[in-house]
Structure 1
Amino acid sequence: MKISMLLFACIFASTANAGLITSSSDSSLSGTTVIDFESQTIGSSSSYTIGDVTFSNAGTGALEIANYTTGGVYGTSGLELSTSAALGSFNIDFSTSVSAFGMIWGAADGYWNMNIFDDSNTLLESLFVPAQTSPYIGFIGANTTNISRVEFVGQYADWVKIDDFSYVTKSTTSVPEPTSIALLGLALAGLGFSRKKAKAIQAH
């Protein structure tokens, strides 16, 4: 029973909560693939698939590839992805799970909820993205294991301008966390002790 509880603790400890990223220099974004939208054509669509990432509206409205001067600069340059016609909600889907993502997040003057799902469409975390203040230029993202889809829901029919979208494909090699390793060691030690105790009882 005690061994089972320790093994359960090991598994539980290896499950990390999603963390909000607010800087492009965040260490979890090391080795990112960057989508700068420069190869896209100006226009609007319900979705855009660029490499391993699909950006789509979450209902009515549309997304727009626009020049950064459309509606103000807000930290972007060249071409950008605007959600101005998506009525305050949109989705980002990854064809291959990622461990972190981030983007220039401009023009958002209301708060947003960032709902993160794994490849089984299980909600991993809901993160709160606070409203920006003038000049409405920021950077947001998140890091955790097995991110497959992200849903953004605005406080109201707010819109954002996205640029330099970065993501890190999830490693196929799982590296246990130090806490998990320590707990696993305790579990194995407990298993060895219980076997020795059982043998001692049998000897008597």
Structure 2
Amino acid sequence: MRKIVWLFTYLIASSVNAGVISISNVTASSTWSTYNVDNLINGSGLIGSLHSGEYTGKWMTNNTVTGSLLFDFGSVFDLTSSSIWNYGNGCCGIDRSVKDLSAEYSIDGITFFAIGDFILNQPVGDPFASETIALNASAQYIRFNLNSNYGSAYTGLSEVQFNGTAAAVPEPTSFVLLALGIAGLGFSRKKKIS
């Protein structure tokens, strides 16, 4: 019974604590040869909450204005927002920064649903801060469609983080009923043995 109460308490506490979600994998529609798409999720350019602006901690498309990024969390999360560090200065100028971005979500990675369209600003100077967009979706996958930039033949971002909680567990009343049922089975067996 003590283990059931502990499990119940742990599950409720873990579903309440919101924070930055670990991203299992990210893929891009294309990547310029010296860049790495994993730079979007590995924190390589971050100094606290700012991005250094160094190109070695960024990602960029392979000579295309548009592109897409697919983020996989490994399981379903209740997402609240995303923090996005645009391309910014660093190598070759701020015109590579994403201007128009649309976001979609999916549970299975096959069927996607629209979240919304967002306009991102060009960062000024280095280091630079992130922008936050609202997501409000339960998903294992988020896809960013990069629809335009600020004038370059390449488009890029520096870092992306997602905020939220693990997907909701069954309601607390379900756990209480389960615990009572298991306790009842234990008492009924003791009674039959006596």
TM-score (normalizing by structure 1)? 0.47
More helix by share: 2
